[in-house]
Amino acid sequence: MHSVAEDGWSELAPAAAATTVASARIDPRGRRSGRVRLAGLAVALLALVGMCLLSVWVGANHLPFTVVWRVLWHNDGSPPALVVHDLRIPRTLLGLAVGAALGVAGALTQALTRNDLAEPGLLGVNIGASAAVVVGISVFGVTDPAGYVWFAFVGAGITSVAVFAIGSAGRGAETPATLVVTGAAATALLGAFVNAVLLLDTATFDQIRFWDVGSLAAPGAPGLTATWPFIVVGILLAVSLARPLNALALGEESARGLGVHLFRARAVGALAVVLLCGAATTAAGPIAFVGLAVPHAARAIAGPDHRWVLPYSGLLAAILLIGADLVGRVIIAQGELRVGVVAAFVGAPVFIALCRRARLVQR
């Protein structure tokens, strides 16, 4: 049963929203705020370009910057040119695509669930895609990313539906941590399944031993070629939902009053998350915490408007992932720390802080 105030808001919401939008158009503070956000977006884009240049320059094989800059524009077939064009550029582009996908998917998941602790990796979506990829490789013999990307989509979709169905049922359904606990259970179960398959099937283990912990080195260029169209489509779908997500943040009743078709918005959002997470997992393996931490930073900079939060999340996540890969390349003298491990070191403290804040709010 709705209260009188709620019914009145449902009737007056469209007019109120129109008045708010009209006021924002003539309010100089709103224009200045928009300019500040746009300037911040430009700074983030420049930082991303700088991080990409560092990723192309720095690696296990030290190359002078002048040499890297020369072969970057003139591929003369020399050993430095092969290192830059065959290894570092594909790796950097893969980090750019996967980072943007994880950041946008994280912001979209938090908006759809209205849960600050939600993130595809923590909700089991990434490990679901990973488990399906392992099945595709071990059982069906699919070894090309263009083939097992479809297994990743199926695994991500099934796991998403199962986690949300189980996490939304029962007395604790309204608790923000319920979905996270359900996702943790799904992650443990599917992670045990993946480990069991890899222990029993040494051929599959040899093929994906680096990919399984999150890596931009494998499958490399083939992974990027097979997944970038799906990442682009997923990002476009997410951006198209920016206004419905803003309305949904006010509550379901308010969103309906503003003319949002909730089922359609959630269906499109779920499709975008599956495309983004399935493609990102196919290309770089299961990488957690990036989609959790970055949207909070984006909202701290740009505010709650998803027309800004989504692009900020994509740019900041790409910066974070390329930076994490760069740190992993140089932190060990004769080896490499995989990007999934470095991302966990960055994101885990953020997750702990968010859990503590959620518990304090409940008190």
Compute the residue count for the chain: 363
pLDDT of residue 27: 39
Q: Which residues of 334-359 are buried (b: 16+ CB within 10 A; e: fewer)?
A: eebbbbbebbbebbeebbeebeeebe
CA angle, corner 15, sides to 13 and 19, nearest 5? 115
Q: HSE of 356 in the Cβ direction (CA atoms, 13 Å)?
A: 6
Please, what's the largest Cα pairwise distance for the chain? 75
Closest to 337 measured CA to CA, from 325, 328, 346, 345: 328
Structure confidence at residue 167 (pLDDT): 78
Read off the amino acid at residue 248.
L
Residue 342's contacts (CB-CB under 8 Å, 6 or more residues apart) are 324, 325, 327, 328, 331
Q: Which two tokens stand for residue 288?
A: 């957690």
pLDDT tens-digit readout, 178-232: 778 888 899 999 999 999 999 999 888 888 887 888 899 877 789 999 999 999 9
Instruction: Kindly report the CATH number that applies to the domain delimited by 9-362.
Output: 1.10.3470.10
Residue 314 CA to residue 298 CA, distance in Å, equals: 9
Is the whole-model pTM more than 0.85? yes
Which residues touch 53 (CB under 8 Å, ≥6 apart)? none
* Amino acid 171: pLDDT: 61
Can you tell me whether residue 148 is helix, strand or coil? helix
Separation CA 227–CA 285 (nearest Å): 12
List the chain residues with pLDDT less than 70.
1-32, 170-177, 333, 358-363
- Please tell me the distance from the alpha carbon of residue 190 to that of residue 130, in angstroms, as a whole number: 9
Cis peptide before 219 (omega within 30 of 0): yes
